[in-house]
Amino acid sequence: MTKRTIRVTGAAHSFSPVALPEQSAMSLHFLRGLMEVDENKQTATFYAGTYLHEVGPLLEQYGFALINMGDIHEQSLAGVISTGTHGTGVTLGSFSSMVTKWGFVNGEGEYIEHVRGNDDLSNALAVSVGLLGILVTVTIKVIPLYSLEYLSERKDLYEEIKSFSQTIRENRHVEWYYFPGSETIQVKKMNMVEPKRQPALSKKIDELQVQLLENNLFSVVSKLVKLKPTLAPSVSKLSSKLISEGKRVGLSYEIFPTPRTVKFVETEYAIPLEHFEACIEEVHDAFLRRQFDVHFPIECRTTAGEQGFLSPTQGNESAFIAFHMYKGMNEEPYFQWVHSVLERYGGRPHWGKVNRYNASNIDKFYPQAQKFNEIRKTHDPHNVFLTSYFKRIFE
């Protein structure tokens, strides 16, 4: 028998090779849609290939919505669940934490439905990066339809560091954009309000503003910085001055995502929440010393802690700090430095973003990695899903 590996690709929105096929590639692009809503239990069952931008409007028909979302909506449900993709909100978990039942075909070709419980298979499935099988259906917890009031403000870095621990508890969602070397940051807050759609005109104006400032103008300055990296600090400071302040209200699925057309590479770490302030101060100091020429803002979010053998939060309330570099620029020295700093704060990389996981460090990041591997082997004894990237970690 020829040994061939299978890798399922969702929307191919990962920066790490987690979705990279070698011999056989599979897509669930034609296995999408809402199968069932249980209004009493407040759960919804989807085909796992459903894209996030389809989920909100489908749930709205039943008066429900996703508990949380990240900042884009291009990914597939299977993809975001498999990598522990998260949004922001210290009381809220990742997409993986929303799952109440997984339906998957394992490496032996068996279809298994598993209801979430406090058991090893649930902990392995929580963040499984396609290693246990092909997710076909997912049942997720949903909540009644809601809107978000979104507020964007320009703020002073040091003042916000002082009030960070309070701000994240007073608002359902808080997100920072730190502009390398600048003391002005963007603080975005979102809070739940009664369901109400964003008026079409206000939506158009917002979309235009994002397209012009955050995409078109940012694309032009990114090209300039790529040609002359020493421009990065000035561009970063200028960007912080151009932060668009304002308020808007709309259905949650209209407000969470922002179109992103400028290409970049990214690494992101979850660190225990209590280290956030010290970590961001250290990062700021490095930029004040002009250690790196980076103009791309650093994104800071929070999440609740959650179970899962491979969950980057490992049960701790966490701050997620994401570092980006414009595509085509040399991110290597910057990301190496990020890895060393963030790992000192107990950080664990997001599985879908640039990471350095391998067989010699995986047990340090994840004390139960071998337990995960045992369960993986029972569901995939012939390593059908173990591509080279994963062989370097789990073989």
Ligand X SMILES: Cc1cc2nc3c(=O)[nH]c(=O)nc-3n(C[C@H](O)[C@H](O)[C@H](O)COP(=O)(O)OP(=O)(O)OC[C@H]3O[C@@H](n4cnc5c(N)ncnc54)[C@H](O)[C@@H]3O)c2cc1C
Residue 54: CB minimum distance to ligand X, A: 12
For ligand X (CB under 6 A), the number of binding residues is 31
Pairing between β-strand 173-178 and β-strand 184-193 as defined by DSSP bridges: antiparallel
Instruction: List beta partners, residue 174.
Output: 189
Listed ranges 78-86, 170-178, 246-254, 356-364: which one lies at the site for ligand X (CB under 6 A): 78-86
Rule CB under 6 A: say whether 135 interacts with ligand X.
yes
CB nearer ligand X, residue 88 or residue 286: 88
Rule CB under 6 A: say whether 231 interacts with ligand X.
no
CB nearer ligand X, residue 97 or residue 181: 97
Q: Pick the binder of ligand X from 13, 32, 154, 371 (CB under 6 A).
A: 13
Residue 39 exposed, middle or buried by CB count within 10 Å (0-12, 13-18, 19+): exposed
Q: In sequence order, which residues have a C-beta less than 8 Å from that of residue 175 and are 6 or more positions away?
A: 71, 88, 187, 188, 299, 300, 301
Q: Pick the binder of ligand X from 66, 92, 129, 185 (CB under 6 A).
A: 129
Conformational region of residue 42, where left means phi above 0, alpha means psi within -120 to 50, and beta covers everything else: left
Task: Tell me which residue of 318, 320, 349, 346 sits closest to 335, measured CA to CA.
Answer: 349
Q: Cα–Cα distances in Å, from 364 out to 167, 286, 346, 361?
A: 32, 26, 10, 5
Listed ranges 65-73, 170-178, 179-187, 360-368: which one lies at the site for ligand X (CB under 6 A): 65-73
Q: Pick the binder of ligand X from 56, 70, 180, 272 (CB under 6 A).
A: 70
Report yes or no: 69 and 256 within 8 Å, Cβ to Cβ: yes
Rule CB under 6 A: say whether 311 interacts with ligand X.
no
Rule CB under 6 A: say whether 12 interacts with ligand X.
yes
C-alpha atoms less than 13 angstroms from C-alpha of 99 in its C-beta half-sphere: 37
Three-state DSSP class for residue 25: strand
Rule CB under 6 A: say whether 6 interacts with ligand X.
no
Residue 162: CB minimum distance to ligand X, A: 26
Task: Tell which positions 313-372 bind ligand X, by CB under 6 A.
Answer: 350, 352
CB nearer ligand X, residue 73 or residue 181: 73
Rule CB under 6 A: say whether 11 interacts with ligand X.
yes
- Which stretches of the chain bind ligand X, using CB under 6 A? 7-14, 18-19, 28, 48, 70-72, 75-76, 78-80, 82-83, 85-86, 129-130, 134-135, 260, 350, 352
